Structure 1
Amino acid sequence: MIADNTPVIIGVGQASERVGEPNYEALSYMDLGGRALAAAIANAGATGDLASAIDTLAAIRAFEMSRPGKEPPFGGPDNIPGALAKRVKASPKRLILSPTGGQTNQQYVGEFATDIAAGDSQCAVIVGSEVISTALALAAKGEKPDWSEEIGGEFEDRGYGLDGMMEMQLFAHGATGAIPLYAIAENARRAKLGKSLNEYRHDIGELFEPFTRVAAANPHSAAPVERSAEELATVTDRNRIVAEPYTRMTVARDQVNQAAAIIIASAGLARALSVPEDKWVHIHSVTAATELMLSARPDLSANPASIASVEAALDRSGKSMDDMQFLDFYSCFAIPVFNQCDHFGLAVDDPRGLTLTGGLPFFGGAGNNYSAHAICEAVERVRRQRSAYALVGANGGWMSKYATGIYSTEPADWSANDRFEKLPMADNGLPCSEAPFDSATVESYTINFSKTGSDAVFIGRNADGERVCGNADLSDEATRAAFEGGEPFGAKLTVTRDERGRNIGKLA
């Protein structure tokens, strides 16, 4: 007999729409999120009133409200979790607005499961929604719908959660946002492997080719098109370089309209609501880890916190990677997947596949909520293949945070309430300096292309061994050749400061 306070996932739901397709409704964030939550409630198959039993609802913060001063273009509710609850006529006593980070939904599965096992909750919901594609389409037509709502009431705003992610020196030199920061890490891995830009782009293409096949079969995908490794790797006008080594097709696609919801309940409540036991999916472990800032990581290509999270989740579940029948590794870019492959010896064509959705460049990068879609897919897979195990790895920031969950229809014993663990952060960060410096040795770099021009951003060590960053002087022929040729690693630069305070380096 499964104990009444055992947390189980009883319902999952997804909702999506693509601009211009039949039945497209241009739904708001809250309306699409409400559809996903309603789908999750229906998915549970309860005969009792499940919506009324929800006591906790966490809304995953949308991308367009994920940093200070940035708001959705058409407004929004004064109480986002309350607005989502209203869509299904739920009245949770606890409402939460999450911080930024793609690991958050996976981490919340562990947090809320722990609350249920402790008797502090009976039914918790995680729901998120992104409609950036619709917002852009409406703005392009000059339309300005009013998505504001007066909900009222109190909720717990957990803030932006940007601690450890504000790389101000890198931002000041043009590495603003995820693409160039991941590209710096990716090029560090390329240097370690001794591969040229073209060779490495082909590696990325081979990794992602199977992802496109999964995305093509997923009805919720933003880009359901199969593509070959060659097509993904080849630079064309349509598949331009956005930041070396990334082509446009191999980076997370944020222009999506996607929402997903997960319902976790106590086994006792699931029984009381007559949720069929073949719908129950057990949470075998959840772990969460935080990485050092990118500029302080001893190995710019590595993400040991993510490896520690996965290993700890496997250990707590009593399973190995070989025991996992289903895998979804967060794939905003190639390197978070490559890191797992490198450590666990997984081939890019592993017959299990490395994604359940199709991955962020092809299924879609649904903001901070992507992994909720992966969890939804994992739940449905293990429901169909009884006793199988699924692993979902969720990533946030620039490989800054990671959370891992393991799921199965096999029961998990929560009597000790020790299946959710937050791991300590490493303390081996390298010293970083913002002071002026005269010379630097390049460790990694990217050339970041934008509408206003391109910046060659490097990260390396000054004469004292401290981490520093700057821009390569592309007006210098030898420097440009080294960086545009993809082989500036180990180069010695002389560095001056320009009138904007930027460090400008050229080959010594």
Structure 2
Amino acid sequence: MAAPLDPSTPVLIGVGQSTDPFGSADYAALSSVELAAAAASAALEDCGTASIAGLVDVLACVRPMELSTPLPPALGASSNFPRAVAQCLGLEPEHAVLESVGGQSPQQLVSEYADRISAGEHQAVLIAGGESLSTQAHFTGREDAPDFSDDVTGPWEDRGANWEFLLDDNLIAHGLFIASAAYALMDHARRGRLGLSVEEYRREMGRLFAPFSEVAAANPLASTRTVRTAAELAAVTADNPLIYDPYPRWTVAREKVNLGAAVVITSVEVARRCGVPEDQWVYLHGHADAVEAPLLERPDLGGGPVSVQAVRAALAMAGIGPDDLTALDLYSCFAIPVFNITDALGIEADDPRGLTVTGGLPFFGGPGNNYSLHAIAETVRRLRTADGFGLVGANGGLLSKYSVGVYSSTPTGWSGRGPVLTDQGERLAVAARADGPGVVETYTFPGTGDAGVVVGRLDATGERFVAMAPVDDPLLALLRAGDGIGARVTVTSADGVNSARTPDRS
């Protein structure tokens, strides 16, 4: 007979999602605040008892994209995002929190506040996020644009955007603030390690993402519900243009969406006292967080070893292995975050369990920092009606941070705060100003015909460099032919930007 659960054990008791598809019959141009509030309202209702709302003493919000960059928000933004969400809900929680940037933050918040509930710090925690990215893109610069700014007041904890952790001046100067360019470098590095041609690698990405499109097709919240074959996803066409090599459009995150998600966490004692049905309860069996080395300092640009360690640590805390999982959602803004985990765990792209519960970022949608809150909500929903374990892997930055949760409806005690793993391995020195001969390790170029980007090592010092491949040099043609890895180059620096050219053979 199982030992009785400690009354302080944290449980997820409510989940909710919201959407406001642009152009739909009931499109309402909801703000990020309103989308978060709609999802939070649904999550509170999902608890099955109205009494939970009055016990919410923390409202923690995932940071919306309009507050995540140094750029001014196109349609304005809330002055106090979590208090604005609370106001929409008619709640006055003691604590209001706005988390820092990163796609890892939804899972990180769940792990943090589950631990705080176990410690008796809080009774009920509502975690919510919303993104109105599609509406913002449509109305930017228009006279009829809605104004999403407000003057909501009240005490709150703003944890800061902290986007500086993810980027430095060297990356920004070479265009690598564009996620598709930076991630393309990683996927090309993995391709080079595997010895695949560009065409072979695109076919591998197609095989990876085709099952994702099938899951999205059955999800009424998905931003696109068209099933795509592996061949369709791999082919660069007018409908599926090249974004940054090797990525055709249908294999990258679909960021222009209007979506919200929320979860409610409380303790076993509170859930029982409020009469929340036990078939609503889902437990966090294992969890861990990872912080990778900065992108250019990683010896292997084609992977994230600390993220893999976090997955293994979360599984170990749950007392299970990869084969025991019945549902997975691996963050899929691009191919490499998925491959990073499946390569290490020996999971195939066509695994019958699937690698997403939502349809993934290219098909369900990529709502800024908030995607994995949707994955958690969907995982909870699935586990309520099926035995087993679900894993959510949440990725942030340039494969920079990773948070993992292992969930199940099977009761379990709380194992304590999970580990925060950091990179302890070799780090490469980076030459911000690079001059001299070197060799290309990885590269990418945009589908528009602009300059490419290469990353390589200087012969003289072994330092890593990043450099532009100018449009007027044969190097760019070499990249476009798929022969960039291992190419010899001469690098020069000027005005904070490095340029790589084919060596002078005269």
2:186–2:442 contact (8 Å) kept in structure 1: yes
Instruction: Name the residue aligned to 2:396.
Output: 396
Which moved further from structure 2: 201-210 or 172-181? 172-181
Instruction: Name the residue aligned to 1:33.
Output: 36
Amino acid aligned to 2:490: T
Distance 1:403 1:191 in 2: 27
Instruction: Name the residue aligned to 1:441.
Output: 439
1:161 Cα deviation from its structure 2 partner: 2.5
Which moved further from structure 2: 205-214 or 479-488? 479-488
Distance 2:239 2:257 in 1: 19
Instruction: Name the residue aligned to 1:63.
Output: 65
Instruction: Name the residue aligned to 1:164.
Output: 165
Distance 1:141 1:76 in 2: 17
1:295–1:467 contact (8 Å) kept in structure 2: yes
2:183–2:334 contact (8 Å) kept in structure 1: yes
TM-superposition CA deviations, 1:319-374 (whole Å, max 9, x none): 11111000000000011111111111111000000000000010000100000000
TM-superposition CA deviations, 1:236-274 (whole Å, max 9, x none): 122111101001111111100000001100111111211
1:481 aligned onto 2:477:
yes
1:504 Cα deviation from its structure 2 partner: 3.2
Secondary structure in 2 matching 1:448 = coil
Instruction: Name the residue aligned to 1:471.
Output: 468
Distance 2:320 2:114 in 1: 20
Instruction: Name the residue aligned to 2:257.
Output: 256
Instruction: Name the residue aligned to 2:21.
Output: 18
Instruction: Name the residue aligned to 2:457.
Output: 461
1:497 aligned onto 2:480:
no
1:174–1:448 contact (8 Å) kept in structure 2: no
1:281 aligned onto 2:282:
yes
CA 1:2/1:316 → structure 2, altered by over 3 Å: closer, same or farther?
A: same
2:434–2:498 contact (8 Å) kept in structure 1: no
Distance 2:141 2:20 in 1: 18
Instruction: Name the residue aligned to 1:182.
Output: 183
TM-superposition CA deviations, 1:75-103 (whole Å, max 9, x none): 23221101111122111111111100000
Secondary structure in 2 matching 1:405 = strand
The two structures have a TM-score, normalised by structure 1, of 0.95
Distance 1:319 1:497 in 2: 51
Distance 1:445 1:336 in 2: 18
1:167–1:293 contact (8 Å) kept in structure 2: no
Distance 2:55 2:496 in 1: 57
1:408 Cα deviation from its structure 2 partner: 0.6
Which moved further from structure 2: 482-491 or 310-319? 482-491
Q: CA RMSD in A?
A: 1.5
1:110–1:285 contact (8 Å) kept in structure 2: no
Secondary structure in 1 matching 2:22 = coil
1:464 Cα deviation from its structure 2 partner: 0.6
Q: Identity percentage over the alignment?
A: 43
Structure 1: tracts of 5 or more residues without a match: none
1:473 Cα deviation from its structure 2 partner: 3.5
Distance 2:500 2:494 in 1: 7
- Picking from 9, 34, 41, the partner of 1:6 is 9
CA 1:119/1:198 → structure 2, altered by over 3 Å: closer, same or farther?
A: same
TM-superposition CA deviations, 1:170-223 (whole Å, max 9, x none): 321222321100000000011111111111111111110000010011011111
1:473–1:506 contact (8 Å) kept in structure 2: no
1:499 Cα deviation from its structure 2 partner: 5.8
2:68–2:101 contact (8 Å) kept in structure 1: yes
Distance 1:424 1:137 in 2: 40
Which moved further from structure 2: 114-123 or 159-168? 159-168
1:140 Cα deviation from its structure 2 partner: 6.7
Distance 1:31 1:84 in 2: 7
1:16–1:220 contact (8 Å) kept in structure 2: yes
1:500 Cα deviation from its structure 2 partner: 6.3
Instruction: Name the residue aligned to 2:411.
Output: 411
1:305 Cα deviation from its structure 2 partner: 1.5
CA 1:413/1:141 → structure 2, altered by over 3 Å: closer, same or farther?
A: same
Instruction: Name the residue aligned to 2:204.
Output: 203
Secondary structure in 1 matching 2:316 = helix
TM-superposition CA deviations, 1:418-468 (whole Å, max 9, x none): 252222332421111123411111100101345xx5121111111210111
CA 1:419/1:317 → structure 2, altered by over 3 Å: closer, same or farther?
A: farther
In the TM superposition, 1:97-496 aligns within 5 A as 97-139=98-140, 142-385=143-386, 387-414=387-414, 417-449=415-447, 454-462=450-458, 463-477=460-474, 479-496=475-492
CA 1:313/1:500 → structure 2, altered by over 3 Å: closer, same or farther?
A: closer
Amino acid aligned to 2:32: Y
TM-superposition CA deviations, 1:25-67 (whole Å, max 9, x none): 1111111111100000011102x42111111111111112212
Amino acid aligned to 1:444: T
Distance 1:379 1:21 in 2: 28
1:393–1:403 contact (8 Å) kept in structure 2: yes
Amino acid aligned to 2:478: A
1:164–1:292 contact (8 Å) kept in structure 2: no
1:14–1:261 contact (8 Å) kept in structure 2: yes
TM-superposition CA deviations, 1:134-180 (whole Å, max 9, x none): 12223375322222222211211111122431142232122232110
1:329–1:394 contact (8 Å) kept in structure 2: yes
